Structure 1
Amino acid sequence: MRIAALADSVILAWGWRKWLIALVAGACGALALPPLDLWPLLVVPMTMAVWLIDGAVGTSRAARFRAAAVVGWWWGFGFFLAGFWWLGAAFLVEADKFAWAMPLGVVALPAGLAIFPALAFGCSRLAWPAGAGRILVLAVVLSLSEWLRGHVLTGFPWNVYGMMLAGQFQIAQFASIAGLYGLTLVAIAIGAAPATLGTAETRAGRWRAPATAALVLIGLVGFGLWRVPAAPVPLVAGVKLRLMQPNLPQDAKFNPRNGEAILNNYLALSDRATSPSTPGVQAVTHLIWPESAFPFLLGRTPQALSRIATLLPPGTTLITGAARAGEALPGESRPPIFNSIQVVDDEGSIVSSYDKVHLVPFGEYLPAVFDRLIRSLGLSEFVAIPGGFAAGTRRLPLTIRGLPPAAPLICYEVIFPGAVAPQGPRAGFLLNLTNDGWFGQTSGPYQHFAQARLRAIEEGLPLVRVANTGISAVTDGYGRVIASLPLGNEGVLDAGLPRGGPATLYAQFGDLIYAVLLAGFLLLSRLLPRG
């Protein structure tokens, strides 16, 4: 049987050949991620992972752990290398300052992240049963390693393996029950199920796991079809949003010399007619601009606020990203600067703000353990803020006239499952302002939007997303895209605001359901026949 021969060749491979197989298998997994979303290819990395662990042999438990961990590192390195290549674009925005460090983002980061699957492969090998049970063991341990990746050292849950299935709209609805990590658990098990086709001793043993995986897939699709209503979600009465996507080059966006030209562009673009019934900003209730819209402090630039007030008709509100200066503490020479969302009324007054809580390490601030060393070399974070941004203290709902309470999320804050809802009463929608201009026309912005869309499904809340270069969009609480602007386009997007639905199971219980599934998978792994 050809599959059996392939399995044997992987299991018996040794040395660099085994590492190369692991590297290529992991890299294939990135093809299942946005923008390609070739989700059937998740079978390649997950099935190969089973066979690679099968072949991790040794004369002691420690030797078997090491053998599996090494091959797991190569597998993870391939996945993250192929999934994060686009990070290199950020280092070329100011190439004279940061191009030298490109290998740190493109190679060193994947190498560090690969430690998580390395540990997962090693720990799986220590509990490795015969038969189909090992598929469930891998799903449990590998998904747990992804949960850890999303939490350790402030967390980095980008391209979690469950995103291989999240591009399939109906299947993604399972996240409303178990979240991204529950979807990850199921994705790994489904992808690894064909491993028994090449290793089981009996015909029943070969087909039991793949057939079960197919039934689970059908069940997930059926649940998605049942959950999502055929009719559109009703809109919030009296709300007409205008999303402004300026598509500014990143190297121009943060240059203070461009401040006036940028504001002029924003004002002109925001007042663009989009249809006979929408001649300009006069026809909208809320105008929304992207993250870090200006290369100056909006709250300390009254001329800019005055021009914004002139643009806004009575009753219209501007929601914009902006840097905000706090109060300097005693003994400090400069005030803290926050990456914020600010709400400006039609009189040019800033009426409310939200300060970003979860900053991007090395992008917006330098972690304390590296700060002194990196600054001693004359280097800095990417943002042009001396000392980097300061972090906000709490994630609270943002009050905006005429809108339900908003869950404000700046840039990559939206990638953290279970952490997007603010404290207090349930929000009415997710508001994500971002600037993906750092990454150009690459996979990064598509991956970012896909994760934001999955948060809408998890929470059962509509998403309003405004990005400098795209993808700007409005989705309902089922993740259906109501309106969008493509990556790399300048324009404005007019849309209503879908109503939020009732709290999903995931919104109510978080990762508790994922934990229950983990326990069920572990129990089942011990009960399955070994043939």
Structure 2
Amino acid sequence: MERLAGKIILLSGVSRAFVGFLAGLVAMFAQAPFGIFAAAFLSFPILVWLIDGVAPDPNESLVRRLLPAVSIGWSFGFGYFLGGLWWLGNALLVEADVFAWALPLAVIGLPAFLALFYAFAVLVARCLWSDGVGRIAALALGFGLAEWLRSFLFTGFPWNAIGYAAIPMPLMMQSASVVNLATINMLAVFVFAAPALVGTGKGARIGLAAAIALFAAHIGFGYYRLTLPAPAATEPPSTVRLVQPVIDQAKKLDDRERAAVFEEHLALTAAPGEEGAKRPDIVVWPETSIPFILTDNPDALTRIAEVLGEGQILITGAVRAEDAGAGLPPRYYNSIYVIDDRGQIVGAADKVHLVPFGEYLPFEQLLSSWGLSSVAASMPGGFSAARTRPLLTLPGGGTIYPLICYEAIFADEIDGNGHLADALLNVTNDAWFGDTPGPRQHFHQAQLRTVESGTPMIRSANSGISAMIDARGVLVVGLGYNYKGVVDTTLPGKMLTATDAITRGRIFWVATGILFLIAFFSRRSFSHRKN
């Protein structure tokens, strides 16, 4: 271990940047669909040793002294995000004649931009760098702050946050019922980086003991919580049918195929269930399943009413149009409709958190003048964002909290109303990204929302992964990627969480303060010893 550390510490220039890139690439394998969390125990010690090797000339300017550490963080982040997000380019190939030119921006440009957050993380760490456990605390602090900023800056994009590497399965997800993802991000880096302490630095034993204790508590609490009785279904139990039509995205965009796409959904809705099984009370279609403006097609509502049995309801993704006033083009919303057995729309919710460049164009007036347009929105101007997210009350009783597509990756999207709901609902269309890690990563991140909120999730995806997930993040039943069909299941009950969102936020700042103090006083002690 010391020999390896020594070789890495002595690297410089291009060699150091390349090893940082490779370390970030290795860290990506800790994320879904691989879930090899041990990869992070290799990549983060390498990152620590790379930072150890930065020995700037004290006579240089502050910027030049910090630049080597910033470049290490950026290289690490670029490898991590390039390896974890390359699949975003698939969305641009659905209409390759229009968007293929932007492939380098999605595959290389976005990872290069997101890597700036990890450059910031290492910059914070380097300003507090010392030896021993202090530098591990500094690195954890830097990454904790960087991931916290990434969750909301520029509308936020916390995809593949480091903390997800520490929660590859329900056993390791249960800590999210006590602390939030921001805290998990920070403590995960502390634990992942701890092997760098072996045989080096002051406080190594204390640091290693703390990391082992955190990891053991993480696993132990998960085991304890999963031994508790599974959340009981509400009475009377609701039966849900998840529809996974697996319709190619190009077909969904073809005007000539719209009627056929609609009929495929209806056929799956009407498909018989298992012999003797209860007919589903609720049928759920994925995001934008209805390939036209539903309110402009009353015959479509009639067809839905013909397929639904008495008392059944349909929850479906659709595009909603709204009159914007005289002389103005309509506003369009990515929406969810609740439709009863008479073909009446009895509930609706619009998407609040839109995808930049996917569903709307930032700085639209300027960028549209350059010929740019959003990828997923085929209507002029893209989608509009809703201001609020209502609970949807079902005709038979019960409430659901709607999350459309990647809204499910934002822990903060589930506010007080989300905790009041009987179930979370996530409808999505990951067919844009093909059979890549993207849909698996999306599912994994959505899965954690159930543990955080203590609320089960109904998830319907066009191409997968559709699933019923209970309040502990356990998969009750599901349909794998590209498996066309339906699955009927009973909605599980809720589970009380250990802490509320406000308390979790306070825990994050307390943990931030503790790590800062460890790093700060280690830095002071280190400086005194050097002098």
Q: TM-score range by the shorter chain?
A: over 0.9
Change (3 A) 1:440 1:379: same
Q: Name the residue aligned to 1:407.
A: 401
Relative to structure 1, the CA distance from residue 72 to residue 425 in structure 2 (aligned partners, 3 Å threshold; closer, same or farther) is closer
Q: Distance in 1 between matches of 2:98 and 2:171?
A: 45
Contact kept? 1:411, 1:432, Cα under 8 Å: yes
Match of 1:521 among 515, 520, 524: 515
**1:316-342 CA-partner distances (Å, limit 9, x unpaired):** 00000000011223441x210100000
Within-5 A mapping of 1:336-347:
336-347=331-342
One-letter amino acid of the counterpart of residue 223, structure 2 = L
> How far off is 1:423 after superposition?
4.1
Deviation at 1:162, TM superposition (A): 0.3
Instruction: Pick which of 320-329 and 506-515 moved more.
Output: 506-515
Contact 2:391 2:402 in 1 (8 A): yes
Contact kept, 8 Å, 2:456 with 2:470, in 1: the verdict is yes
| Gapped regions of structure 1 (runs ≥ 5) | none
Query: Is contact 2:124-2:138 (8 Å) kept?
Result: no
How many angstroms apart in 2 are the aligned matches of 1:275 and 1:355? 34
CA distance in 2, matches of 1:384, 1:131: 55
Alignment of 1:32-431 (within 5 A): 32-60=30-58, 61-197=62-198, 199-200=200-201, 205-236=203-234, 237-278=236-277, 283-332=279-328, 334-368=329-363, 371-377=365-371, 379-421=373-415, 423=417, 426-431=420-425
Deviates more, 1:400-409 or 1:440-449: 400-409
* Residues 64 and 126 in structure 1, CA contact (< 8 A), matched pair in contact too: no
**Aligned position for 2:442:** 448
**Aligned counterparts of 1:233 and 1:407: Cα–Cα separation in 2:** 18
Structure 2 equivalent of residue 27 of structure 1: 25
Deviation at 1:522, TM superposition (A): 2.1
Selected match of 2:492 from 488, 494, 498: 498
Cα distance in structure 2, aligned partners of 1:258 and 1:57: 63
CA contact 1:178–1:506 (8 Å) conserved in 2: no
Q: Please give the TM-score of this superposition, normalised by the length of structure 1.
A: 0.94
Q: Kindly state the Cα deviation for residue 430 of structure 1 after the two structures are TM-superposed.
A: 0.7
- Please give the per-residue CA displacement for 1:148-172, whole angstroms capped at 9, x wherever unaligned: 0111010000000001012132222
**2:458 is equivalent to residue 459 of structure 1:** no
Q: Secondary structure at the match of 1:482?
A: strand
- Quote how far apart the aligned CAs of 1:382 are: 3.0
Equivalent position SS for 1:511: helix
Say yes or no: does 1:511 pair with 2:505: yes
Q: Once the 2 structures are TM-superposed, how far is the Cα of residue 523 of structure 1 from its aligned partner?
A: 2.5
Give the drift of 1:504.
4.1
Of residues 24-33 and 5-14 in structure 1, the stretch that sits farther from structure 2 once superposed is 5-14
From the superposition, tell whether residues 482 and 290 of structure 1 become closer, same or farther in structure 2 (CA, over 3 Å): same
TM-score normalised according to structure 2 size: 0.94
Greater Cα shift, 84-93 or 420-429: 420-429
What code does the residue aligned with 1:123 have? V
Distance 1:483 1:165 in 2: 24
> Once structures 1 and 2 are overlaid, which stretch shifts more, 248-257 or 451-460?
248-257
- Once the two structures are TM-superposed, the CA of residue 471 in structure 1 deviates from its matched residue by 0.4
Query: For 1:210-252, what per-residue CA distance to the aligned partner results, in whole angstroms no more than 9, with x for missing partners?
Result: 3432222111111112223443321122311001000111111
Answer yes or no: is 1:13 the counterpart of 2:11. Answer: yes
Kindly indicate whether the alpha-carbon contact (under 8 Å) linking 2:309 and 2:341 is maintained by their aligned counterparts in 1.
Answer: yes
Distance 1:182 1:378 in 2: 38
2:66 counterpart SS class: helix
1-structure distance, mates of 2:199, 2:353: 45
Bigger shift: 207-216 or 63-72?
207-216
Q: How many correspondences in the alignment?
A: 521
Contact preservation (8 Å) 1:239, 1:403: no
Report % sequence identity: 40
Deviation at 1:43, TM superposition (A): 1.2
Offset at residue 371 of structure 1 (A)? 4.5
1:73, distance to aligned residue in structure 2 (A):
0.6
State the Cα deviation string for residues 420-459 of structure 1 (Å, max 9, x = none): 2364872221100000000111000000001101111111
Report the more deviating stretch, 158-167 or 395-404.
Answer: 395-404
User: Greater CA deviation, 371-380 or 435-444?
Assistant: 371-380
1:31-56 CA-to-partner distances (Å, cap 9, x unmatched) read 00001100011112211221111122
Conservation of the 8 A alpha-carbon contact between 2:418 and 2:424:
no
Deviation at 1:380, TM superposition (A): 4.0
